[in-house]
């Protein structure tokens, strides 16, 4: 019985990290009425990293700062700003870190080249096999 | 050739093993610094966050003299822990302004009454807009602003007792 009560108490406990008591910003959890614009905002939000919970995108995070950033992105998209402009603005402040979208930075060239190299290797092996099959 | 190829999986395994081991053993560094250090403050004008302190705009931080800009919130526990250090800095003659993140005036008033008020001006950033524009990723953070209103240094996290001399040095060299 005691164990059950303790278990119930555990279920009742609230997440312990400190968050603001203020209600979320207007567009934090409300979609834009125009589905095309909402899709634009949503696609961007899914590739922007949350600063509080660092392995989530701001679209997934419940952190208050992520909510504020979602609202800001929706408002800026509503005002006619392009998603890539907002991404560049954020990278200017937080570095490449904030974006999940890989850039064309030289350090990432191996990443872009890997699929091509693997495909080439596969073709080479395939050619070797076909040649061997009909001597 | 074939004989050598047999060793390839092992070599790959050892390579990945080494990569993961080095990633696991490296100390966890999750501090995201602002890329605006060395650049001018973004433009902003915030309403007053406390009843007895004036509001804050970026122009008021370029006074020809280095100042400290503290990002805090009444709901943030490490901000309370940092309060004595800010008081010590104020006593050392540092002018400190603040931005309260996602806060409300009664809460800020209560916080300052409880932990002391080292601030000259306090702006209220109810929707983290200025915080994001500054490239700040949490509370508390402190920015050393030079006389021309440029960010000279960013301190992420609370200012501990042994950080105080370093902050004073940063302020001195941010002329």
User: What is the value of ipTM here, to two decimals?
Assistant: 0.86
pLDDT level of residue A47 (50, 70, 90 thresholds): very high
Q: What is the pLDDT of residue A135?
A: 61
Going by their DSSP bridges, the two strands B45-46 and B96-101 should be labelled as unpaired
Q: In angstroms, what separates the C-alpha of A2 from chain B's closest C-alpha? A: 33
The DSSP string of chain A is -HHHHHHHHHHHPPP-S----SPPPTTTS---SSHHHHHHHHHHHTTBB-SSSTTSBTTT---HHHHHHHHHHHHHHHTT--HHHHHHHHHHHH-GGGBSS----GGGHHHHHHHHHHHHHHHHHHHHHHHHH--
CA-based angle A111:A113:A119, to the nearest 5? 120
Contact A21 B133 (CB under 8 A): no
The DSSP string of chain B is -HHHHTTHHHHHHHHHHHHHHHHHHSPP------TTTTSBPPP-EE-BSSTTS--EEGGGG-SSS-EEEEEE-TT-HHHHHHHHHHHHHHHTT--EEEEEES--HHHHHHHHHHH---EEEEEEETTSHHHHHTT--SSSEEEEE-TTSBEEEEEES---GGGHHHHHHHHHHT-
Residues of B in contact with A93 (CB under 8 A): 34-36, 132-135
Q: At what angle do helices A35-45 and A64-78 cross, to 10 degrees?
A: 140
Q: What is the pLDDT of residue B105?
A: 95
Stretch A41-60: mean pLDDT: 93
Q: What is the pLDDT of residue B108?
A: 96
Q: What is the pLDDT of residue A18?
A: 59
Stated length of chain A: 135
pLDDT level of residue A16 (50, 70, 90 thresholds): very low
Q: What is the pLDDT of residue A7?
A: 61
Mean pLDDT over the full length of chain B: 94
pTM of the prediction? 0.82
Stated length of chain B: 175
Q: Tell whether B135 is within 8 A of chain A (Cβ).
A: yes
Both tokens of B151, joined, read 């960010």
A74-109 pLDDT, tens digit per residue, is: 999 999 999 999 999 999 999 999 999 888 888 888
A111-128 pLDDT, tens digit per residue, is: 889 999 999 999 999 999
pLDDT surpasses 90 at A133: no
Which residues neighbour B51 within 8 Å (Cβ) at sequence distance 6 or greater? B105, B109
φ, ψ for residue A103, nearest 5 deg: -95, -175
Both tokens of A23, joined, read 């209600």
Stretch A8-18: mean pLDDT: 53
Q: In angstroms, what separates the C-alpha of B92 from chain A's closest C-alpha? A: 31
pLDDT surpasses 80 at A14: no
Residues of chain B with pLDDT under 50: none
Q: What is the pLDDT of residue A12?
A: 55
Residues of B in contact with A65 (CB under 8 A): 128, 131-132, 137-138
**B148 Rama class: left (phi>0) / alpha (psi -120 to 50) / beta:** alpha
Q: What is the pLDDT of residue A22?
A: 85
Q: What is the pLDDT of residue B4?
A: 84
Domains within chain B, CATH numbers bracketed: 45-173 (3.40.30.10)
pLDDT surpasses 70 at A15: no
Mutate to test the interface with B, among A26, A62, A73, A94 (most CBs of B within 10 A): A94
Stretch A53-82: mean pLDDT: 94
Look up the CATH number of domain A25-101: 1.10.8.640
């Amino acid at each position: 019985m005691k164990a059950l009560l303790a278990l119930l108490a555990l279920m009742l406990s609230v997440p312990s990290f400190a968050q603001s008591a203020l209600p979320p910003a207007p567009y934090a959890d409300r979609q834009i009425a125009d589905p095309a614009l909402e899709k634009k905002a949503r696609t961007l939000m899914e590739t922007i990293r949350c600063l509080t919970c660092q392995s989530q995108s701001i679209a997934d995070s419940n952190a208050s700062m992520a909510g504020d950033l979602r609202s800001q992105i929706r408002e800026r998209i509503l005002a006619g700003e392009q998603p890539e402009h907002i991404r560049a603005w954020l990278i200017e402040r937080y570095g490449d870190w904030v974006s999940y979208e890989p850039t064309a930075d030289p350090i990432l060239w191996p990443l872009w080249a890997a699929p091509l190299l693997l495909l080439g290797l596969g073709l080479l092996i395939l050619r070797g096999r076909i040649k061997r099959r009909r001597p | 050739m074939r004989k050598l190829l047999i060793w390839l999986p092992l070599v790959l395994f050892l390579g990945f093993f080494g990569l993961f081991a080095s990633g696991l053993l490296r100390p966890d560094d999750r501090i995201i610094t602002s890329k605006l250090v060395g650049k001018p403050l973004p433009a902003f004008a915030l309403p007053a966050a406390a009843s007895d302190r004036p509001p804050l705009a970026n122009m008021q931080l370029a006074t020809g003299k280095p100042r400290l800009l503290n990002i805090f919130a009444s709901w943030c526990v490490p901000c309370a822990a940092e309060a004595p250090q800010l008081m010590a800095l104020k006593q050392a003659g540092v002018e400190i302004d603040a931005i309260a993140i996602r806060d409300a005036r009664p809460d800020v008033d209560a916080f300052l009454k409880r932990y002391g008020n080292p601030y000259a001006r306090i702006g209220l950033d109810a929707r983290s807009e200025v915080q994001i524009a500054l490239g700040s990723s949490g509370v508390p953070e402190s920015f050393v602003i030079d006389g021309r209103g440029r960010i000279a240094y960013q301190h992420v996290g609370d200012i501990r007792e042994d950080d105080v001399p370093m902050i004073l040095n940063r302020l001195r060299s941010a002329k």
